[in-house]
Amino acid sequence: AEFQHAILGPISIGLGPFVEVAFNHARSGTLIVTDCVAEVPDKPLDIIQVDPYPLLYHSRAEGIEPIEDSVQGRIRGWRKTVLFALYIRPVAVDLVKTLPTFQNWFKAPTFPAIDGFFPFEWNGDGWQKSFSGVQGRLLVPPIVQNFILNRRGGPQKTMEWVDTVASWKFK
């Protein structure tokens, strides 16, 4: 067979089952996994920059800052967005209470546009250290590990799946 495959699951996560499939293209040594393995590049991929607005929105420290397009802003926004995607609520971010969130939004130069609505704030530069911890290496996204793989029956099924995938020859 040109492809090997291994199925993880189903793992019951309450809303429905989680299933992951890993594929190995034997001839090229290519491993394909969608959710359980990730690699976080230092900079956003070109496809993500087709519409840079989400990156630029998240690049700011607070909602009253204008959204300005720059390479550094895109990179900063990418890194913060990655932390949200991996952790839902990164340790380097605090939620802002409802009243101050709306007060700041009303002060934003672009009000009533939604880009001034910013219900969180980053704790200084701590997010950079958090990003460094996940960047440039293979990892199991913490959101997948904590909310899916450790569910009832998940650890045993996951270890069996990992053993199968690890036995393949891939680059």
Q: Are residues 13 and 84 in the same domain?
A: no
Task: Report how many domains make up the chain.
Answer: 2
**Residue in this structure with the two tokens 């996560």, named with its chain if needed:** 13
58, 73 Cβ separation under 8 angstroms: no
Segments forming the whole domain that contains residue 81: 40-136
The string of pLDDT tens digits covering residues 109-134 is: 776 677 777 788 888 788 999 999 99
- Are residues 103 and 66 both part of a single domain? yes
Shared domain for 124 and 98, answered yes or no, is: yes
| pLDDT of amino acid 128 | 92
Q: Which residue is listed with tokens 């900079």?
A: 43
96 in the same domain as 28: no
Whether 115 and 47 map to the same domain: the answer is yes
Residues 27-44: tens digit of each pLDDT: 999 999 989 999 999 999
Question: What are the structure tokens assigned to 85, written together?
Answer: 């995607």
Q: Are 168 and 32 in contact (CB under 8 A)?
A: no
Are 28 and 98 contained in the same domain? no
Q: Do 46 and 61 share a domain, yes or no?
A: yes
